Structure 1
Amino acid sequence: MRKFYVIGIGAGDPDQLTLQAVKAIRSVDAFLILEKGEEKADLTGLRRAMLEEHARPGHRLVEGRDPDRDRTPEAYAPTVDGWRSARSEIFERFLAEELDEDGTGAFLVWGDPSLYDSTLAILEEVAGRGRVAFEYEVVPGISSVSTLLARHRTNLNRVGRPVQITTGRLLAEGWPEDVDDVVVMLDARHAFTRYLDQDLHIYWGAYVGTPDEILVQGPLAEVAGRIEELRTEARARKGWIMDTYLLRRPLG
């Protein structure tokens, strides 16, 4: 039976690779690498550097082109579904054509595969078609959320209080009910600026765990403008940005 590993590799710092991830990498015959274009070449470069250090001699890298995706669609869910299906065809070809029946393959996932990543859903789509037989194992990784909070030296939760992880798109529609601590990911529209009149503290970070890391924290009304400027400048300079933040309001 073909074996496929989905390996979480952390938020970008090579030292965030877990021992479990290193052991999995050393057991793999072939790795699928999806190129995302010149703008994001440094992301692929970090993956390659990890493999060069930890993969066993004779491993193979199989390159594919990540399908393009509309980032501002009118119909969000159908657009994401179409992109996932296009990706699933690449994964299926890799499994069928690049692995022997008892071969091992892997895909390296930023952060943790369970948090805002599509790889597991894509593999389920491939398995559901039934064209190629395989089993897969998930290796957890250190998420960008964990790295962000470690860098800011703060907790995700407070005693007896829930936490919600959401997207900028949903935060723009309103603050979640009965929650005082909200982690926001995938916020391309600066949804936090809708809450400048509220008593909130923000812990923000971009490219956390990489040499380009940027961190800002403070009362939202005081630092929101600086975050917007830093985010805009960084995206223009690098061509892409990965950021997340925690919004916290006082208790009582």
Structure 2
Amino acid sequence: MEQQHLETLLTAVARGELSPSLAARQLAQVTLEDSLSGLALDTQRAVRTGLGEVVFAQGKSPDALRGALSGLHQDGSPVLATRVSPEQGEMLGKAFPQGRYWPMTRLFLLPRRLPDGAVVPAPELGPPWPQHGDILVVTAGAADIPVAAEAYGALRFWGRDCGLITDVGVAGLHRLTPHLPALRDARCVIAVAGMEGALPSVLAGLLRCPLLAVPTSVGYGVGAGGRAALSTMLCSCVPGVAVVNIDNGFGAAAFAAKMIPPAGQPQD
């Protein structure tokens, strides 16, 4: 349940359009349980934390995945699924024709359904991406784009003003120069890099805003599946850098979304 839905429910009670007992029954459904699929959906997470439950698709059976999206979409709230394989994306597209799957981001979005049944169009998550915003996602190389696009897509789902700048890593830092004005205007930067993972330190040494570093598993042998980049980022000599797990674009987006509210909404 979203904050907006909760306010609508309480307003209906205040106007006499909904009985307190019926409202209480709706609010009492803190979780939707499905013993056959092993689900216990947290429908009130958005009210408690500001970010609603997002479905992690990897490892879920088709029934569990369909059930999770259907349950969270029950009141019309938009639903996001992450780490969705092409096979899962095809299955979800058939189950939810109003949904949208972006293979590059591995995200599936079930858009908001209004009380009158109309569906709010899903945002476009594919390129070309805007290169400005309150939150900017930046990649060192083109191979890092899938992880960065996951972060960008999650931020768009949460209604944040965000952009994505790609392929400006330390192998050719002159590529970064044209983007410095937009980067300096940003309120938060997410830097995504594999190999030696040097880009976050470079950016943190140039910018005033908080920087979130995301190591990726891109790289040769001693890169150890992103561990070399992770170590570099954790050992950065530049203050103001926070690091998330390897390939965790979604986690970086969630952190940034909690720091930066949607445009026009005051920070809690």
Flag whether TM exceeds 0.5 (same fold). no
Structure with greater strand share of residues: 1
Q: TM-score, normalised by structure 2?
A: 0.29
